[in-house]
Amino acid sequence: TEDVLHRQDKLAAVGQLAAGVAHEIRNPLTSIKGYAEFLSMDEREMDRQEYFDIILDEIERVNSIVEEFMLLSKPTVSVLEKKPIRPIMDNVASILDYQLRKNKIQLHRSYENPNLFVECDENKLKQVFLNFIKNAVEAMPNGGSIDITVKKENENISIIIKDSGIGMSKEQLKKLGEPFFTTKKDGNGLGLMVSFKIIENLNGKVYIESDPGKGTSFHITLPAVD
Ligand code: ADP
Ligand code: MG
């Protein structure tokens, strides 16, 4: 079991980030250009539909990268309000309901108390929960379970999202939160970077434990408000 505390310094290398963004966007652009050229060359081309599909997928890929970065670049002084965790988490669970069923995943939620409040921008916190739970789903291609526990610990609200998925190696754990680090065929490797950033802006922390082959848990702490 590995225990890793996310560190701010991963976000420091701005130049590297810009180079990464350029690279990740140029790849799909190159293939969009190539397939568009094929399509313009020969109208009787047999594979037209396939080319259109690739072009649309690649456009979607660029779009998802741009969207994640827009989230990051929004003012960090977003309006913070006192909000209860439970309805935020319940909403995310209902958004993911179909995906959970389809993947044969049981989602359990346990709230120590329905009135656990944090100071947050509700939509951004939703985004964070969504990213973590989606990753958990994607780590369980053959089904499994996700256990969410929300409780008060000293001055903090503690939110644990535990899955029974494929887990991560020590090397993978070290790379978490680096932009574009992904092990997925159609991942963009931005979800955790964005999520860590949002949690940091709320003066929260994230701890990760993972066992390859057994599962992973993300432990988020946020300052509690009364
Ligand atoms: P993406 O989901 O697009 O790959 P993320 O930033 O959300 O990007 O996650 C980065 C990587 O971290 C994933 O590709 C995966 O390797 C790893 N990861 C994140 N969450 C989990 C999890 N719950 N179980 C196993 N691996 C995970
Ligand atoms: Mg993800």
Give me the residue label for tokens 């999520």. Answer: 195
Cross-strand partners of 161: 148, 218
- Please tell me the distance between residue 183's alpha carbon and the centre of ligand 2 in angstroms: 10
Render pLDDT for 28-85 as a digit per residue (tens, 0 to 9): 899 999 989 988 887 776 788 888 998 998 898 888 888 777 766 665 557 899 999 9
Q: Which stretches of 36-143 are assigned E, i.e. beta strand? A: 81-84, 105-111, 117-120
Mutate to test the pocket of ligand 1, among 135, 142, 147, 217 (most ligand atoms within 8 A of CB): 135
ipTM of the complex: 0.99
| CA 185–ligand 2 middle distance (angstroms) | 12
- Cα 47 to Cα 52, 54, 61, 218, distances in angstroms: 9, 11, 21, 44
- Whole-prediction pTM value? 0.80
Q: And the tokens for 7?
A: 């560190």
Report the pocket of ligand 1 as residue ranges, CB < 6 Å: 131, 135-136, 139, 163, 165-168, 172, 176, 181-184, 187-192, 216
Interacting residues of 106 by C-beta distance below 8 A, sequence separation 6+: 100, 144, 145, 146
